[in-house]
Chain A
Amino acid sequence: MLKMAGCLLIMSAGSFAGISLARNYARRPEELRNLITALQMLETEISYTATPLPEALGRIAARCDKSIAPLFFKAGEELRAQTGCTAGEAWETALNKFYAISSTLPSDLAILRNLGTVLGISNGEDQCKHLRLAREQLKGEVITAEQQAAKYVKLWSYLGLLGSLALILLLY
């Protein structure tokens, strides 16, 4: 009886680990695509209406997909609080929080971090150039993320279950 319970526990833990790893791979291209759309919105806010950054970030947080909204919401909130932090610092704080809850990888983080260093500190034309560059780089990441998703989503979801079964057999 105790053995049965142990087996069940190993199996469910293994499948859960596999599924969550697989889900990370599946979610990453989606999040990256949403980030690209949000950066496109930010470019529009900057180039057409010259909306001040704290307000623009708030608007984007309200309109973008909820998987990435915390990034823009937190950065806008930090700036609106007028604690004396710069746009770069607000972005960095928001980015660190976002990274912990998202499926993005360090390579995606590096692109977004680079963008943060120039955010809000130059004229509209220059801001748009940087936003476009970040979008292009993220598009490159989308391609690799999709390839990885195709490869690893199924693999990990099966591997979790099968690996736990193998472990059970070994233990028996």
Chain B
Amino acid sequence: MPEEKLFPNNKPEPWQEILPVLPTNLRRLISGLPQPVLAQLEEIRLRQDRPLMVGQAQNDAFVSPEGQLLTLPAGAYLVSGEDIQRTLQLVSGASFYALEEELRNGYITLPGGHRVGLAGRAVVEGGQIKTLKNIFSLNIRISREVIGAATPVLPFLVCRQGICHTMLFSPPRCGKTTLLRDLIRQISNGVPDLNLPGLTVGVVDERSELAGCYRGVPQRDLGARTDVLDGCPKSKGMIMLVRAMAPQVVATDEIGRQEDVAALEEILHAGVKVLFTVHGSSLAELAGRPALAYLFRLNVVERFVLLGRSRGAGTIEDILDGKTKRSLWR
């Protein structure tokens, strides 16, 4: 199906967008990697006094001081405390004071929708995480927009009322968010080949991952009829969106807490279709989580989509019917 982008953008390569947050010596090492590696680069991991590591679609590798890829950590470039401190300063745009909320959550969103996960020592006050200090571990995750990722799935999700209540599930790093993002975009723009008119989509983006909002402005194309509620807790945001923006479809990432399921239950019965993702590798595993077990008992989800990495991130392993739990895929 020919894909016409509604918001054409001539952006640099995703890996180029994260270079400005790296100190110059690391910039040189990363940008010197072979082109095929850069094209598949998923994450860059910096841990103080540990080897510099890059994560690709299929495997992890270490980087030598000469910019060569190594499979074993021996001889790799050791990330110094200075590297970590400089990266942190660059990631924060020299403004740690502007990121207090982000530090509490343990990640920072960069322009372009990429994110930097942080680990260090948590400062706890009254049972709540106040901030992180002594940060010694960073994971720069490169976010990719895969236009057309949802094309093979979409025919299974379209029904007479528009689209089905759908749950996407997989272990981490299998492309749930990427698939959900493209689903939102296609549903929002409409798919004439499937007789799917464009639907108004409300997105609750608690972790700024779907729309990749940077200072409130979505960095990702989520379609023409999409409203994004950025940084809002899912449980509150879903209900807020239904009341405020009258969406036909509500989409959100990583449902799992009791209050998320309660909010989901409320909007499932409000004539709104829902699209959401969950961490897990099988339906049986999901049913073992109390909040999700309750959701399964409600028996309202119409399609389950399982993702995996058997043929790279984003492989669609199975699509199940919600009622019969029978496979519709192949």
- What 0/1 pattern do residues 1 to 33 of B give for CB contact below 8 A with A? 000000000000000000010111001000000
The interface-forming segment of B94-102, B245-253, B272-280, B312-320 is B94-102
**Inter-subunit contact B27/A84 (CB<8 Å):** yes
- A126: B residues at CB distance < 8 A: 97
The interface-forming segment of B65-73, B85-93, B149-157 is B85-93
Task: Specify the chain A residue showing the minimal Cβ separation from B26.
Answer: A84
**Inter-subunit contact B95/A53 (CB<8 Å):** yes
The interface-forming segment of A9-17, A117-125, A160-168 is A117-125
Question: A44 in the interface, Cβ–Cβ < 8 Å?
Answer: no
Given contacts A84-B24, A84-B27, A84-B86, contact A90 B94 (CB under 8 A): yes
**Inter-subunit contact B89/A120 (CB<8 Å):** yes
Task: Specify the chain B residue showing the minimal Cβ separation from A49.
Answer: B98
**Inter-subunit contact B93/A52 (CB<8 Å):** yes
- A123: B residues at CB distance < 8 A: 96-97, 100, 131
- What 0/1 pattern do residues 84 to 103 of A give for CB contact below 8 A with B? 10110010000000000000
- A86: B residues at CB distance < 8 A: 86, 89-90, 94
Task: Specify the chain A residue showing the minimal Cβ separation from B21.
Answer: A82
**Inter-subunit contact A120/B131 (CB<8 Å):** no
* Size of A's binding interface in residues, CB under 8 A: 22
**Inter-subunit contact B98/A51 (CB<8 Å):** yes
- Bound together, the chains give a CA A122 to CA B94 distance in angstroms of 9
**Inter-subunit contact A46/B24 (CB<8 Å):** no
Question: A22 in the interface, Cβ–Cβ < 8 Å?
Answer: no
**Inter-subunit contact B24/A50 (CB<8 Å):** no
Task: Specify the chain A residue showing the minimal Cβ separation from B22.
Answer: A84
Task: Specify the chain B residue showing the minimal Cβ separation from A121.
Answer: B96
- Bound together, the chains give a CA A50 to CA B98 distance in angstroms of 5
Selected from B22, B24, B97, the residue in CB contact (under 8 A) with A122 is B97
Question: A127 in the interface, Cβ–Cβ < 8 Å?
Answer: yes
Closest-CB distance, B198 to chain A (whole angstroms): 36
**Inter-subunit contact A87/B89 (CB<8 Å):** yes
Question: Which 10 pairs between the two chains have the least Cβ-Cβ distance?
Answer: A87-B94, A120-B94, A124-B97, A82-B20, A52-B95, A50-B98, A84-B24, A53-B94, A53-B95, A86-B89
26 CB contacts below 8 A, A to B, read: A50-B95, A50-B97, A50-B100, A51-B95, A52-B93, A52-B94, A53-B94, A54-B95, A79-B93, A82-B20, A82-B90, A83-B24, A84-B20, A84-B24, A84-B86, A87-B94, A120-B95, A120-B97, A121-B96, A122-B96, A123-B97, A123-B100, A124-B97, A124-B100, A126-B97, A127-B97
Interface set of A (CB-CB < 8 Å, partner B): 46, 50-54, 56, 79, 82-84, 86-87, 90, 119-124, 126-127
